[in-house]
């Protein structure tokens, strides 16, 4: 499973109407619950079919097999995250607050995401490479997305695209680091602590000369 490719697809579809409603959405809801409870490796199409309450022929009419269900579930979760992040940032008029609250939202969402935490805990060999040694695609796509958002929110910024990509990548790598290895020294246990960290260490370089 190419997580970088999935993230790129989610970013490309960012802002488009939500997909997978009706019966397909019901199947993905059942699959997500199944994966959260038992992980992806231990879950079968039969498990998902049983949990959805649908006939197997109905499931196969929408998804040819387990791999397609996995991809659809993960893509939907990524799209939901991006949409929710956009909506959270939109609640705040000031650019600094958008960045701070965006970091808090991202930190909390990744920390509390049931499926992600299940995979990190029970199937690390499956998921960890895509955030570490094989994580170039994820980092590149996330950095490009953040750099683009910065260019939109900071129209008077005179930094080059490369400079925006550099600070965006640093930010993405910091977030992934906290996700994979919680710090013993940096307090991010509550929202106020996360806000304080973001205002002190992330916002100044992200805002750049506009600060």
Average pLDDT over residues 103-119: 93
pLDDT recorded at residue 14: 78
In this prediction, residue 118 has a pLDDT band, given cuts at 50, 70 and 90, of: very high
Mean pLDDT of the chain: 89
What's the sign of the alpha-carbon dihedral 179, 80, 146, 187? negative
Give 200's contacts (C-beta < 8 A, 6+ positions apart): none
Residue with tokens 């490719």: 5
Inform me whether the pLDDT recorded for 201 exceeds 70.
yes
20 versus 127: the higher-pLDDT residue is: 127
Average pLDDT over residues 140-152: 91
pLDDT recorded at residue 181: 85
Inform me whether the pLDDT recorded for 71 exceeds 80.
yes
Inform me whether the pLDDT recorded for 102 exceeds 80.
yes
What's the sign of the alpha-carbon dihedral 35, 53, 44, 22? negative
pTM: 0.87
Helix (H) / strand (E) containing 105 = helix 95-112
In this prediction, residue 200 has a pLDDT band, given cuts at 50, 70 and 90, of: very high
Measure the CA–CA gap between 26 and 158, rounded to whole angstroms. 47
Which long-range contacts (C-beta less than 8 Å, at least 24 apart) are formed by 65-74? Answer: 67/1, 69/27, 69/28, 69/31, 69/45, 70/1, 70/31, 70/35, 70/40, 71/1, 71/6, 72/20, 72/24, 72/28, 72/31, 73/28, 73/31, 73/32, 73/35, 73/115, 74/1, 74/3, 74/6
pLDDT recorded at residue 100: 95
Domain assignments of the chain as residue spans, ordered by start: 3-206
Measure the CA–CA gap between 78 and 74, rounded to whole angstroms. 6
pLDDT recorded at residue 211: 47
pLDDT tens string 169-181: 999 999 999 888 8
Q: What is the DSSP string of 35-88?
A: HHHH-STT--HHHHHHHHTS-HHHHHHH-SSHHHHHHHHHHHHHHHHHHHHHHH
Measure the CA–CA gap between 143 and 149, rounded to whole angstroms. 10
pLDDT tens string 2-55: 565 788 888 888 777 555 678 999 999 999 999 999 999 999 999 999 999 999
Residue 195 in tokens: 């806000």
Q: Which fold has domain 3-206?
A: Tetracycline Repressor; domain 2 (1.10.357)
């Amino acid at each position: 499973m190419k997580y970088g490719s999935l993230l790129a697809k989610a970013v490309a579809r960012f802002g488009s109407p939500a997909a997978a409603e009706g019966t397909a959405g019901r199947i993905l809801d059942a699959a997500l619950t199944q994966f959260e409870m038992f992980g992806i490796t231990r879950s079968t199409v039969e498990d998902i079919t049983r949990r959805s309450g649908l006939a197997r022929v109905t499931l196969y009419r929408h998804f040819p097999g387990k791999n397609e269900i996995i991809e659809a579930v993960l893509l939907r979760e990524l799209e939901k995250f991006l949409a929710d992040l956009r909506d959270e940032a939109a609640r705040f008029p000031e650019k600094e607050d958008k960045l701070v609250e965006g970091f808090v939202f991202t930190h909390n969402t990744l920390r509390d995401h049931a499926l992600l935490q299940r995979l990190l805990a029970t199937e690390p060999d499956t998921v960890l490479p895509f955030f570490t040694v094989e994580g170039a695609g994820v980092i590149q796509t996330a950095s490009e997305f953040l750099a683009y958002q910065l260019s939109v929110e900071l129209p008077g910024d005179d930094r080059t695209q490369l400079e925006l990509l550099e600070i965006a990548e640093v930010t993405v790598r910091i977030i992934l680091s906290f996700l994979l290895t919680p710090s013993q020294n940096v307090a991010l246990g509550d929202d106020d602590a996360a806000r304080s960290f973001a205002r002190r260490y992330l916002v100044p370089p992200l805002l750049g000369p506009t600060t």
